[in-house]
Amino acid sequence: MHVDDWSFYAGKPVLITGGCGFIGSNLALSLVAAGARVTLLDSMIPDYGGNLHNIAPIAEHVRLNISDLRDPHATEYLVRDQEVIFNLAGQVSHIDSMRDPVTDLEINAKAQLKLLETCRRVNPGARIVLTGTRQIYGRPRYTPVDEEHPVEPVDVNGVNCVAGEWYHLLYHKVYGLPAVILRLTNTYGPRQLLKHNRQGFIGWFVRLVCEDREIQIYGDGGQQRDLNYVSDVVRAILLAGQNERAVGRVYNLAGDTPISLKDLTEAMIRIAGRGRYTLVPWPEEKKRIDIGSIWCSYARIKEELGWQPLVGLEEGLEKTFKYYTNNLEKYLGPVDI
């Protein structure tokens, strides 16, 4: 049986940017359980996934600061004396990045640079773990995609995420800031944003299944993806935060086996016992930035940090639908597609 040891974090002051969001809140739960002194920064911008219900089980055990990573004064106050900074805040919608590219630039690039410059001035020893995205690879030249694959983003979000990554790596090389980059694949599970479909397809598909509505799959549904259950992603983030070997490194996360969107949807419907789907033509704005089938290799992080996914798709989907069956109303907003 696999047992993780997070005693490294006991008593340590840590900051999570985007701490009320999907991955940030799940990370906070694990850190509180490990005995860390947890501070959360979240702007609570309605469309970005921050949700106070996400941290309800630990609300009395964390310090929450509702502010924006773009505010340098708040950021300087919050990063002082932190030993580990888990940098999860970001604008993750590819569609929104094309509709409002300047805001995406401000959040995913400019704010990242401000954070690093602040750390350089007031807390240069803090370990910084940035959660990036495999979207920066663009359309894959080969699969599985490893960390040596060319970086060729297909949308504004990808370009700005590349810049955010490279700022972290540059500040490590030039100033010695101990930064680590994780490139996440499709993450799913409890506490995910379900209000709209602009932060990836999985949360939206989960909502439609929960509400027994029809899922529309673009094209023939044959495009393949790999997925990680959120607890596996949290494990990777925690490993990156405590392992000296990770400093200055870039790691892909990935699932064990890619699955087509059609097969994934059928599995969701079967496990939830409701929902349906239909195949529809591609909308032009989404077809222009679609990257086709893509899945990644996690060989590097397995070799260097000992990480691999532990939660299979069936188990992960069962846990996901169980959570939303009991909490769905906490995640619903106006239908906005």
Measure Cα distances from 79 to 25, 112, 118, 121 in Å: 18, 13, 8, 10
pLDDT of residue 31: 98
C-alpha separations of 285 from 50, 136, 219, 281 in Å: 26, 18, 14, 12
pLDDT recorded at residue 82: 98
Which one, of 181, 202, 180, lies nearest residue 192 by Cα?
202
Is 34 a domain residue?
Answer: yes
User: Is 73 a domain residue?
Assistant: yes
Tens of pLDDT along the chain (337 residues)? 567 899 999 999 999 999 999 999 999 999 999 999 999 999 888 777 789 999 999 999 999 999 888 888 888 999 999 999 999 988 776 677 788 888 888 888 899 999 999 999 999 999 999 999 999 999 999 999 999 999 999 889 999 999 999 999 999 999 999 999 999 999 999 999 898 776 678 999 999 999 999 999 998 999 999 999 999 999 999 999 999 999 999 999 999 999 999 999 999 999 999 999 999 998 877 777 677 899 999 999 999 999 999 999 999 999 999 999 999 999 986 544 4
How many domains does one find in the chain?
Answer: 1
**Burial class of 285 by CB neighbour count within 10 A (0 to 12, 13 to 18, 19+):** exposed
Is there a domain that residue 221 lies in? no
Give the predicted TM-score (pTM) of the model.
0.94
Is 277 part of any domain? no
Crossing angle for the helix pair 261-272 and 201-210, to the nearest 10 degrees: 30
Confidence at residue 337, expressed as pLDDT on a 0 to 100 scale: 41
State residue 336's pLDDT score: 42
What is the span of the domain harbouring residue 175? 7-191+227-255+296-310
The model's pLDDT over 24-78, given as tens digits with 9 standing for 90+, comes to 999 999 999 999 999 999 988 877 778 999 999 999 999 999 988 888 888 899 9
What pLDDT is attached to residue 289?
Answer: 67
Give the alpha-carbon dihedral of 222, 285, 110, 187, to 10 degrees: -30
Residue 92 sits in a domain whose CATH number is: 3.40.50.720
Specify if 110 maps to a domain.
yes
Burial of 62 (0-12, 13-18, 19+ CB in 10 A): buried
**Does 220 fall in a domain?**
no
| Structure tokens belonging to residue 207 | 């909502």
Residue with tokens 């673009």: 218
18 occurs within a structural domain: yes
Q: Is residue 107 part of a domain?
A: yes
